């Protein structure tokens, strides 16, 4: 279609391929639930549905002081968390950069760096804010008072065998450190601590989604789902042990009750049979370090949305016989794979929004770009597009005169398409979880389970979220709720209480370290 004299058809085609109809959303949700159930039934399925051995959620009364280490996002974080027992906590943290070399080199080098960072945190004072002498965490373990207990938030697929043990299954999000897959991540870290003679014991291993779930449960007094929409996307929810049939006749299965499951939902659609992908998605996937894996994540999360936008923009710039955007001019940044960060899309949409958040209007959608006439724009629209243009100049490296208001409108439109699709798909994941846990059902004729306990009750359904995308992308939550409404009905959607799990990884790891300490 890009090789066409009919410019409007090119825009219309792109627009159409990014839309998700109600029918598609319902089908995707059903497929999502099917993959949930497949993963709960056996190991080695695309959606890993990892049992976490976390058998309950906190209620806000927990107390103690713990160290937490968080690896899996853009930064490595070390924090000290004090749980006050009244739904509040205090936290002191330090971030450290993880270089590309560490991400892709030898695993021992990566884990030595983690240990060094903890060491630095415990010994160094930050210049701006002198740290009081480190309180020894209140660990009631006889004879080991000087050992600090640490919870590790490790946001990669791990086959967990206990609260404090788990084998690394695969790397995601640009990591590929060698000699790590198949090894126990807690042991790798503990060995690094021991090599450096640190008095730190890693007692708990948590995924960031589990952290979000636990910390939201602590601060809100309850929660059923923790979900991340940041560099990657993933979710963890509270499941009946009886439904996790792959636990077979293990001790955990015999105990029954509840267990948090880390879904690894980023892998939904690895079979490529469900999500309607566009050439822009396919190009991204082909050039990624993990083609065909983390398929859902590539439609939804911060690491990828900017690249999809870049692919659309570049295709329009490259279009023949005539460029359809920016007179065919590109910048070094746009010409570089991963050069366009998702935060640029966010900035573009914020520029369009202006100071006050407005309700969506017909202006938000695509005007017919081929009939675009600056002189016919309202003053308001002109001002909005001028702000978008300024953002493009600032963030994409164009000269002011290179960018027309029409270019600004097209780029804003492309960002909107991608973000809206991502948010609607995020709603699919939440809806699938509500249905799987018996709190909702799909529109009649689709789901094979009728909603059971909890469905009649009017109480809130807690969802703890974290990640820059849901925190900062304009209207992300509103659009996510749009698909929730379609999928589970407005009466359920209204009860869904979506709240940021602030500092989720730190507080969640601390809560998990507390649970592990109690079991010791
Ligand atoms: P992580 O998931 O790595 O812990 P974040 O939640 O901050 O960290 O997510 C980082 C991702 O979010 C990056 O991919 C980045 O492109 C994207 N991002 C950063 N800032 C914004 C923003 N203002 N709006 C939308 N996305 C953002």
pLDDT at 372: 87
Quick one: 452 exposed, middle or buried, by C-beta within 10 A (0-12, 13-18, 19+)? exposed
Residues in Cβ contact with 112 at an 8 Å cutoff, skipping those fewer than 6 apart: 192, 195, 196
Ligand 1 atom nearest the C-alpha of 173 is 3
Residue with CA nearest ligand 1 atom 6: 467
Cβ 343 under 6 angstroms from ligand 1:
yes
Between helices 302-318 and 279-287, what is the axis angle to 10°? 120
In a domain, 69, yes or no: yes
* Separation between Cα atoms, residue 354 and residue 371, nearest integer Å: 25
Given the structure tokens 């791990």, which residue do they identify?
A: 158
Q: Residue 83: give its domain's CATH number.
A: 3.30.420.40
Q: Kindly state the tokens that stand for 155.
A: 């946001």
pLDDT at 127: 38
In a domain, 351, yes or no: no
Residue 56: CB atoms within 10 A of its CB come to 13
In a domain, 406, yes or no: no
In a domain, 276, yes or no: yes
Cβ 74 under 6 angstroms from ligand 1:
yes
Catalytic residue check, 208 = yes
Strands 496-500 and 461-466: parallel
In a domain, 211, yes or no: yes
Handedness of CA 259, 265, 266, 268 (dihedral sign): positive
Catalytic residue check, 112 = no
Q: How far is the CA of 257 from the centre of ligand 1 (A)?
A: 36
* Separation between Cα atoms, residue 441 and residue 175, nearest integer Å: 37
DSSP state of 134: P
In a domain, 380, yes or no: no
Q: Using most ligand atoms within 8 A of CB, pick from 154, 215, 230, 472 the residue to mutate for ligand 1.
A: 230
Of 112, 110, 209, nearest to 155 by C-alpha is: 209
Cβ 501 under 6 angstroms from ligand 1:
no
* Separation between Cα atoms, residue 118 and residue 154, nearest integer Å: 15
* Separation between Cα atoms, residue 505 and residue 511, nearest integer Å: 10
Stated pTM of the model: 0.90
Catalytic residue check, 439 = no
Q: Using most ligand atoms within 8 A of CB, pick from 342, 351, 426 the residue to mutate for ligand 1.
A: 342
Cβ 470 under 6 angstroms from ligand 1:
no
Residue with CA nearest ligand 1 atom 17: 302
Q: Does residue 379 sit in helix, strand or coil? A: helix
Cβ 418 under 6 angstroms from ligand 1:
no
Q: How far is the CA of 232 from the centre of ligand 1 (A)?
A: 9
pLDDT at 174: 84
pLDDT under 50 in the chain at which residues? 1, 125-144, 448-455
Q: Residues 266, 232: contact at Cβ < 8 Å?
A: yes
Cβ 472 under 6 angstroms from ligand 1:
yes
Q: What are phi and psi of 418, to 5 degrees?
A: -70, -45
* Separation between Cα atoms, residue 396 and residue 402, nearest integer Å: 11
Cβ 155 under 6 angstroms from ligand 1:
no
Residues in Cβ contact with 251 at an 8 Å cutoff, skipping those fewer than 6 apart: none
pLDDT at 362: 65
Q: What is the ipTM of this complex?
A: 0.98
* Separation between Cα atoms, residue 405 and residue 385, nearest integer Å: 6
In a domain, 396, yes or no: no
Residue with CA nearest ligand 1 atom 19: 343
Count of residues in the chain: 520
Domain count for the chain: 1
DSSP state of 374: G
- Domain holding 292, by residue range, is 1-297+430-514
Peptide bond into 278 cis (omega under 30): no
472-489 burial: b if 16+ Cβ within 10 Å, else e: ebbbbbebbbbbbbbbbe
pLDDT at 270: 83
In a domain, 346, yes or no: no
* Separation between Cα atoms, residue 1 and residue 29, nearest integer Å: 30
């Amino acid at each position: 279609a890009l090789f066409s004299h009919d410019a409007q058809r090119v825009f219309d085609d792109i627009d159409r391929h990014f839309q998700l109809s109600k029918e598609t959303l319902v089908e995707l949700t059903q497929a999502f639930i099917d993959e949930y159930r497949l993963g709960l039934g056996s190991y080695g399925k695309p959606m890993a549905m990892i049992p976490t051995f976390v058998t309950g959620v906190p209620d806000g009364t927990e107390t103690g002081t713990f160290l937490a280490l968080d690896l899996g996002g853009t930064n490595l974080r070390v924090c000290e968390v004090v749980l006050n027992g009244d739904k509040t906590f205090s936290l002191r943290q330090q971030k450290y950069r993880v270089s590309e070399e560490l991400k892709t080199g030898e695993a021992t080098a990566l884990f030595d760096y983690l240990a060094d960072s903890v060491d630095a945190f415990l010994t160094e004072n930050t210049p701006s804010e002198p740290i009081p002498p480190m309180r020894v965490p209140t660990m009631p373990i006889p004879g080991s008072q000087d050992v600090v207990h640490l919870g590790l938030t490790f946001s990669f697929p791990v086959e967990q065998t206990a609260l404090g043990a788990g084998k690394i299954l695969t790397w995601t999000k640009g990591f590929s450190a060698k000699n790590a897959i198949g090894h126990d991540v807690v042991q790798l870290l503990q060995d690094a601590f021991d090599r450096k003679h640190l008095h730190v014991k890693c007692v708990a291993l948590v995924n960031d989604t589990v952290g979000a779930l636990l910390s939201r449960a602590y601060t809100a007094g309850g929660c059923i789902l923790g979900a991340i929409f940041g560099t990657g996307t993933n979710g963890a929810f509270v499941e009946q042990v009886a439904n996790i049939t792959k636990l077979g006749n293990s001790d955990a299965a015999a105990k029954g009750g509840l267990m948090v499951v880390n879904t690894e939902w980023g892998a939904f659609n690895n079979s490529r049979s469900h999500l309607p992908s566009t050439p822009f998605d396919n190009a991204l996937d082909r050039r990624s370090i993990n083609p065909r894996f983390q398929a859902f994540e590539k439609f939804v999360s911060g690491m990828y949305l900017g690249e999809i936008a870049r692919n659309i923009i570049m295709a329009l710039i490259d279009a023949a016989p005539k460029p359809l955007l920016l007179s065919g001019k590109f910048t070094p940044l746009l010409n570089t794979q991963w050069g366009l960060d998702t935060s640029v899309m966010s900035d573009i949409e914020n520029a369009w929004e202006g100071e006050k958040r407005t309700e969506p209007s017909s202006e938000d959608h695509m005007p017919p770009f081929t009939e675009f006439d600056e002189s016919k724009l309202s003053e308001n629209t002109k001002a909005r597009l001028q702000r978008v243009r300024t953002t493009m100049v600032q963030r994409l490296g164009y000269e002011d005169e290179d960018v027309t208001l029409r270019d600004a409108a097209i780029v804003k439109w492309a960002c909107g398409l991608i973000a809206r699709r991502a948010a609607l798909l995020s709603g699919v994941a939440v809806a699938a979880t509500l249905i799987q846990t018996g709190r909702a059902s799909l529109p009649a004729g689709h789901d094979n389970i009728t909603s059971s306990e909890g469905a009649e009750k009017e109480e809130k359904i807690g969802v703890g979220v974290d990640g820059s995308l849901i925190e900062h992308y304009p209207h992300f939550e509103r659009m996510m709720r749009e698909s929730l409404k379609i999928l589970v009905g407005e009466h359920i959607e209204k009860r869904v209480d979506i709240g940021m799990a602030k500092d989720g990884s730190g507080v969640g790891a601390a809560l998990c370290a507390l649970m592990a300490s109690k079991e010791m």
